[in-house]
Amino acid sequence: MTKFKYDETEGFKKGRDVWFEMRGEKVAQAAVDQAAQNEMTRDLRQFLFEHCFAAAWARPGLERMTRSIITISVLQALGRTEELKSHIRMGINNGLTREQLKEIFLHVGVYAGVPTAVAAVRAAMEEFDAADKAKAKG
């Protein structure tokens, strides 16, 4: 049962569609429903669809994989590790290989400091382990 309603503006729908494609329908829907249980999380989700996913990801001019590269670079550089994990997952959905991710981490490490590369590799290893286990389970 959903307590708070989203405002289905143009921006909301555009951002939601991009995000559902990148996250996967099922996980995305569960997150959207969960967020609707509380006014604060509902408003954040609404804001993210309109002013993050519609504002940036839905624009033409760059491929989605390129947008993943940019996002991952920024999150590593700024040390936003939780968000980085979620974008490593989406980056793989957008076509990035583990080899390419590794190269991004080392390159960013030069420009933002080597500790950011250590943290990014640690985050990625956790994501890869989780993904490999999920796959093994089938």
| Residues found near its own copies in the complex (CB under 8 A) | 11, 38-41, 43-44, 47-48, 50-52, 55-57, 59, 61-62, 66-67, 69-71, 73-75, 77-80, 82-83, 98-119, 121-122, 124-125
In the complex, the smallest distance separating the C-beta of residue 21 from its own copies, rounded to whole angstroms, is 17
In the complex, the smallest distance separating the C-beta of residue 50 from its own copies, rounded to whole angstroms, is 7
- DSSP conformation class of 58: T
In the complex, the smallest distance separating the C-beta of residue 121 from its own copies, rounded to whole angstroms, is 5
The residue behind tokens 């590269």 is 69
Closest Cα to residue 88, out of 125, 58, 53, 56?
A: 125
- Paired tokens of 104: 């991004």
H helix runs in 2-113, sequence order: 10-23, 25-35, 39-48, 64-78, 81-93, 98-112
Q: Measured from the CB atom, is 24 or 70 closer to its own copies?
A: 70
Q: Measured from the CB atom, is 24 or 125 closer to its own copies?
A: 125
